[in-house]
Structures are given as C-alpha cells and as structure tokens.
Structure 1
C-alpha cells in the first residue's frame, strides 16, 4: 500500500475551505497551545503575525485549509511533534515494545514514532512515521517481515514505494517524500523519510520482528 488521500480527517469549526485564499482573523479553539508551540506571544487572540506563522506550519505539513486557523487538526499535529521530542533517546521508557526478541522494529501509533532496538538497547531512531488513516489503520500486534523489495511499485496507488519491507499483508515500511505529518495518513503502510527507510533496509531482513502498538490520533 502507498500513501492515502490528501483530504483532512476532520472538519474545522468556523472557517471554511472557501476562505482558503486569505489568512483568517478568527481565533481558534487551540489558539494558546498553537501560539506557545510556534514561539508566538501567548495571548489567546489571533493576530496577523499569528496567522502567518500558523499558515506556514500548515502548508509545510499539508494541513488544509491552510488559512492560519488554530483548529483541532493543527494542534493535534503539533502535540504529536511535542510527544516525539519528549521521547528523546528513550522511546521505550514505558516498556510497550518487547525487549525479549533481540532485534525488533517498534512502531508506536500513538506518537507516530518508530525505532529499532536490540533487546533493551536502542539501535536506531526514534524517527517520525506516517501510519494508516482512519478506516485503513496500520494493524497492531507482533509481526515479521516476510518480503522486501527495494523498488516496489504499488498497483493500488500507482506510486513507487522505495525500500519496501512488508510485515502484514500489504502493509510495509517504505520511503515517502512528503511530510510525515501530512493528514490523514497512509493507506496502512508505515511511511518513512528516505534516509530512515534506507537505514531500516540495512538493519532489518526477512524474518525480522516488528511490533506495532498504540492508536494513531484521529482514528
């Protein structure tokens, strides 16, 4: 499977898509949180400078409509980034990914984060990933890589999937060139930045363990 639809996974309350040509003057429900994330003065009131800063973030991560509105999807994306930063070099601090399997590729859907560990030792990552959208969720549980193709062609989405490593039916790790935060998510695969997908290709092989847990925000 490749990447999914570009449509947003939730609706904004307030501004509509028709207003996309301009920067909104409306204060969003997550104004304070968004201002703080962006390093803006936190006053809970929309300003022209706030809007431009929010709009820049939205455009970078394909959040539509990109009108600078501090809505649920924009804040959800920022909150995920904050959780990823907080993970630091101890992504498995809570012990959700098993440490008794030797080398295992861990996928935390809740934080949209993946890493490779050897027992309890971190071997690579953690790195941001883009997993399955609502209705096409990346399936959880213990898996194993069963097929690898360095230049796989998706017959469903008509796109190349470089460094594909399949671990559950049509679901695979593979490279993607878009933002890892682009909503609503993939068609079920674990999208990765090119350098990370290449690193996983070198670290894993057929039969390698994969463990997927958590729940993607918005699903």
Structure 2
C-alpha cells in the first residue's frame, strides 16, 4: 500500500491547477534563475511569508529559488518556483499541524477509554499514541491514502507486524509495517510526509517515527482513524 514511486500534483484539498511549464517564460519582475518562473503566483504573499521572504507579492529570483527548493524537497511538481495552490496547500497544512502543539486530542475525537491507542487524524495528517488522556508519542506528520485509495476510518486493531515487509501488490519496501485494516498499515517511507498526492491507503511515516511506533505498539493494540484527508 505504501506509494513511493508515483508523485502527483493534486493534494491537500486542491484538485486542479497545475502550473503550466510555459509560465517559465512569462513576464515578471526579475530575471529568472534556470528552471524558475518569473511569474508571481496567486499565493505569492502567503508563500513569501511562510518562507521568511520579503512579503511584497512580487516574484524575484531569490523568491523563486526558495519556493523551488521547497517544492523539490517535498516532491511538488512542476518545481519551477510558482506560488500556486498546491504549494500553498502544503505550507498551510504545515502551519495547521504546528498549531496543534502537544494537545492533538483537544477535541476528544480519539477514544480515551481504550488504554494505549494510536490515533490518526486524516484532516490534519497527523498521528500520535496516547494512553488514556496521556500523550505517549507525537503528534507527528503522516501521509495517508490519496483520492480513491483512502485510509479507512474507524476503530481498528493491529493484527500483524512485519519489520522488513515488502508490498506484494506494489513491490516496494514497507519497513516497520504494522497492519491494522486489510492491507493498510503504519510503515516508513523514504519520501516527504507532504509529498502529494498521498499513499495507496497506508499511513506513511518517517523512519524515525515508524521505528518509535514499532517499539511502542504491539499486536492487539487499538488504532483509531478519523477525519478526511483534504482532496479525497
């Protein structure tokens, strides 16, 4: 279920508008660096603020380089430095995740009467482990199922763990797999947690977080998945 091959441009509540590559030749306020567009995007000011750039709504060579570096890091295509909705969507989600702080279950949506439980908030794309009301680990960013491959919601249980699992469906490594619903599992991947459009249903994690979940959870532990991933 872990998808580390296909990269798309649709994610985080945005279903369209992939910037045409022809924008690289568009009019702008500065000479573009190689591979960079000179056009200011519709989210130019928001993206500039997120990246700590001067907020003037005008594209500069330095702006484009910074935006492009962010896009390349997180697998956002085309990575030409255009401040479009996909790029801003990723940044906006990061802001929302950061705002959660150390109280991810503030709304009480993940059960506190189950003892140790792994919670997955699809809306914010975060996960954590709690024991009653006590936060044990996280919250951490995760990458869940894309449109038509959604991570299924509800109360589950970890039923099988395989440290060096390889997907028989996609023939890709799924280290530290902990399966909780059919072929859906927690496991580590080698791409950014904000890499659109998402997994094939699994809850992708960084290697560090997947290892921590492996050490903190066991067969029979509860998993609760709720919310809805933007764009699904």
Compute the TM-score of the two structures, normalised by the length of structure 1: 0.95
- Residue 15 of structure 1 contacts residue 69 of structure 1 at CA under 8 Å; is this kept in 2? no
Matched with 1:3 is 3
Which of residues 191, 200, 208 is equivalent to 2:221?
Answer: 208
* Equivalent of 2:20 in 4, 8, 15: 15
Q: What TM-score do you get using the length of structure 2 for normalisation?
A: 0.90
Q: Are positions 1:77 and 2:90 aligned together?
A: yes
Q: Encode CA deviations 1:55-102: one digit per residue, 9 max, x unaligned.
A: 000000010000000111101100111111111111111112111111
State whether residues 121 and 225 of structure 2, in contact with CA within 8 Å, keep that contact through their aligned partners in structure 1. Answer: yes
CA drift at 1:17:
7.3
What RMSD, in angstroms, separates the aligned Cα atoms of the two structures?
1.6
Write the mapping of 1:136-151 to structure 2, written as runs, cut at 5 A.
Answer: 136-151=149-164
8 A Cα contact 1:76 1:217, kept in partner: no
Question: How far apart, in 2, do the equivalents of 1:69 and 1:108 lie?
Answer: 29
- Count of aligned positions: 219
Matching of residue 178 in structure 1 with residue 178 in structure 2: no
**Quick one: distance in 2 between partners of 1:124 and 1:101?**
16
1:94 aligns with 2:136: no
Structure 2: unaligned runs, 5 residues or longer: 26-33
Aligned partners of 1:135 and 1:13: how far apart in 2? 20
Q: How does 1:38-53 map to 2 (within 5 A)?
A: 38-53=51-66
Distance, in Å, in 2 between the alignment partners of 1:119 and 1:132 is 27
Q: Distance in 1 between matches of 2:156 and 2:191?
A: 26
Moved segments of 4+, more than 3 Å: 17-21
Match of 2:8, SS state, is: coil
Residue 153 (structure 1) aligned with residue 158 (structure 2): no
CA displacement at 1:11 relative to structure 2: 3.8
Contact 2:152 2:225 in 1 (8 A): yes
Give distance in 2, aligned partners of 1:34 and 1:202.
37
Q: Which runs of 5+ in 1 are unaligned?
A: none
* Closer, same or farther: CA 14–159 of 1 in aligned 2, 3 Å: closer
Per-residue CA deviation, residues 104-135 of structure 1 (Å, 9 max, x unaligned), is 10001111100000011100011111111111
